[in-house]
Amino acid sequence: MKTKVYDAIIIGAGSVGLPTAFFLAQAGLKPLIIDQFASPGQGSNKAAIGGIRATHSAPSKIRLCIESIRTFSTWQETYGDDIEWYRGGYSFVAYREREERILKDLLKIQQAYGLDIHWLDRDELLEVIPDLNPDDLLGGTYSPRDGSASPMLSAHAFYIQARERGAEFHFRERVTGIIRRRGRVVGVRTDQGGYATEMVINAAGPWARSVAQMAGLDAPVAPDSHEAGITEPVSRFLKPMVVDIRPAEGSKNYYFYQHNPGPIVFCITPEPPIVGTDRRETSVFLPMIARRMVDLMPKLSNIKVRRTWRGLYPMTPDGFPIVGRVEELEGYIHAVGMCGQGYMLGPGLGALLSRMVRDALTPEDRQILEELSPYREFSAEEKLK
């Protein structure tokens, strides 16, 4: 019996693996996607809160997210799946001169890449977000073309559309080894068998480093925990995602938005980071973020919280993803270290990886890959992690 050979094997059916599978299958290739969980998007993807923005500080992430927004915003019209896309925008608020200076400096980079983002003074910003606390408010940036969608509905949509185009998925299956011969990939071994391929894409999220080590490689990806929550649904009163980058005791920043069906979804960046894979909820998260959110927007004080949860951010030393082929093993590709932004980067990155596998990279793709190279010095720092 002839062994089935796949055009590519993707390890991980999450925020990056699912769009990559879709774009590969759409291009006529036959990928196999292997995931340890029972269904698509059950790792870090289901812990994402759904924000999608192109307003980053790095050209590579700006370009990838422009493509992601194009995919998310046209998905229902093109493929028929309602992923609860909502173009509410993003606003980074400033109550101190330090944050005002940081945000205005970043505008120069963001506007240079054609992003629709501007500084609004206090009164202009209150017109967009009337319920902000006006005391000491200096203003903020506003990018109306950013938005949000449902991570779970998006994962299901990418999965269904990829399957319809010929992608094959194996769930409840663990990768145990990358099979290599004479310096190149020839297959993947799992706890249920072996599969032949000349191309492996590591999209394993928080588990990326252990997958890389199976190939005799390394990827400097270390997960840390971030906690999030959701309220009861209420009538629409808030359009943009609101981000407050002021540090405070126990937290580096926090952000929240009103999801399309009505609930407020919120998250905090802990400081110091909570390194490891512990996803148990804590007793300190809700009091900490509630105080900050209600101080910023008093109207939130009477909304009931439905639940909280923790997810894993696969972090790199500089806050940028690691994407590209490796020199040590032909046919192996890193697509790891999304630093908690895999959901918004996923479609843009999936399209790029599809072009990489097909040897159809554009000059812009090559610039992105140079910035995200596995061989960079990791000395820079993402300003809006």
Over range 43-49, report the average pLDDT: 94
C-alpha separations of 244 from 138, 181, 267, 298, 304 in Å = 13, 50, 11, 15, 21
5-67+151-220+318-371 is a CATH 1.20.1370.20 domain: no
pLDDT tens by residue, 113-158: 999 999 999 999 999 999 999 999 999 999 999 999 999 999 999 9
Q: Identify the pLDDT of residue 20.
A: 98
Over range 26-34, report the average pLDDT: 98
Q: In CATH, what class is 87-145+223-315? A: alpha beta
User: Which stretch of 2-6, 293-297, 353-357 has the lowest confidence by average pLDDT?
Assistant: 2-6
Residue (of 380, 267, 349, 385) closest to 60 by Cα position = 349
> Residue 1: pLDDT above 50?
no
User: Which stretch of 138-147, 235-244, 268-277 has the lowest confidence by average pLDDT?
Assistant: 268-277
**DSSP codes, 175-236:** EEEEEEETTEEEEEEETTEEEEES-EEE--GGGHHHHHHHTT-----EEEEEEEEEE-----
Confidence of residue 4 (pLDDT cuts 50, 70, 90): confident
> Residue 2: pLDDT above 90?
no
Measured distance CA(43)–CA(36) in Å, rounded = 9
> Residue 383: pLDDT above 90?
no
Measured distance CA(238)–CA(257) in Å, rounded = 7
Q: Identify the pLDDT of residue 385.
A: 57
pTM of the prediction?
0.96
The answer to whether the beta carbons of residues 332 and 215 sit under 8 Å apart is yes
137-160: string of b/e by CB count within 10 Å (b at 16+)? Answer: bbbbbbbbbbbbbbbbbbbbbbbe
Measured distance CA(309)–CA(304) in Å, rounded = 16
Confidence of residue 379 (pLDDT cuts 50, 70, 90): confident
Over range 15-26, report the average pLDDT: 98
Over range 277-302, report the average pLDDT: 95
The answer to whether the beta carbons of residues 22 and 165 sit under 8 Å apart is yes
Residue ranges, CATH 3.30.9.10, the chain: 87-145+223-315
The share of the chain scoring above pLDDT 90, in percent, equals 96
The share of the chain scoring above pLDDT 70, in percent, equals 98
Confidence of residue 108 (pLDDT cuts 50, 70, 90): very high
